[in-house]
Amino acid sequence: MTGAKATMGQEAAVAHNLANVATTGFRAEIHRLRAVAVQSESLPSKAFVVDASVGSNFSTGAVSQTGNSLDVAVNGKGWFAVQTPDGNEAYTRSGSFQVDENGVLRTRNGLEVVGDGGQIAIPPDNSVEVSSDGTITAIPVNGARNTANPVGRLKLVNPPENELKRGEDGLFRLANGQAADMDESVKVAGGYLEGSNVNVVEEMVRMIFLARQYDLNTKLLQNAQET
């Protein structure tokens, strides 16, 4: 019974990965079934099956050129820092940014993008360029390029992956709740976006495997009932 229930949980996780196959910067979630011994005076062989999230797939997704100056992709390892509504810091690989009505750089979900010196604001009537170290330069639309002005620098971090924990909002945070330090070795590319790292074929094969495993569990239940 617990095996069938946990398998349904895994099918939901696989469906979630497949639903995010086109989500920018998405990291596939990895689930595993594990046995937990029942602590009782009954038979020592009894065990429950638990569906456990054991981590995330941190491999790099495909990078594509968009031509949008506000799109940024991380080259290799690293993360963008964003500020959550509760004022804490979280991390994402999605570099699809936009400028709000106040000129503040935000994610597509409205979260403020963290700079190395705090808030990043883009002056009106300016285009932007993002250098490899995350420095954002504002260039007047109607002016000369020699009047370009650096307005901030993206906070780029690269904490150990085993210390990152995925939240219900899909963002990653350090397990200890602290903010990660800026990493000068992280590089980015302006005008590019990184896609999801979900492998559609692998997830579909896993979905079929889980469906067969669920059928096996239910047949065992039916046989036990008949017996």
pLDDT, tens digit, for every residue of 11-29? 998 999 999 999 999 999 9
Residue 155: closest CA among 95, 100, 67, 87: 95
- The token pair at 188 is 């980015």
pLDDT tier, 144 (very low <50, low <70, confident <90, very high otherwise): low
* pTM, 2 dp: 0.83
Q: What is the pLDDT of residues 177-222, one digit of tens each?
A: 899 999 999 999 999 999 999 999 999 999 999 999 999 999 999 9
Task: Give me the chain's average pLDDT, please.
Answer: 90
Task: Please report, to the nearest 10 degrees, the dihedral formed by the alpha carbons of residues 86, 132, 108, 57 taken in order.
Answer: -80
Task: Give CA–CA dist 225/227, Å, rounded.
Answer: 5
Provide, rounded to the nearest whole percent, the portion of the chain with pLDDT above 70.
Answer: 97
For 25, 157, 199, the CA distances from 57, given in Å and listed in that order, are 12, 18, 10
Segment 61-78, tens digit of pLDDT: 999 999 899 999 999 999
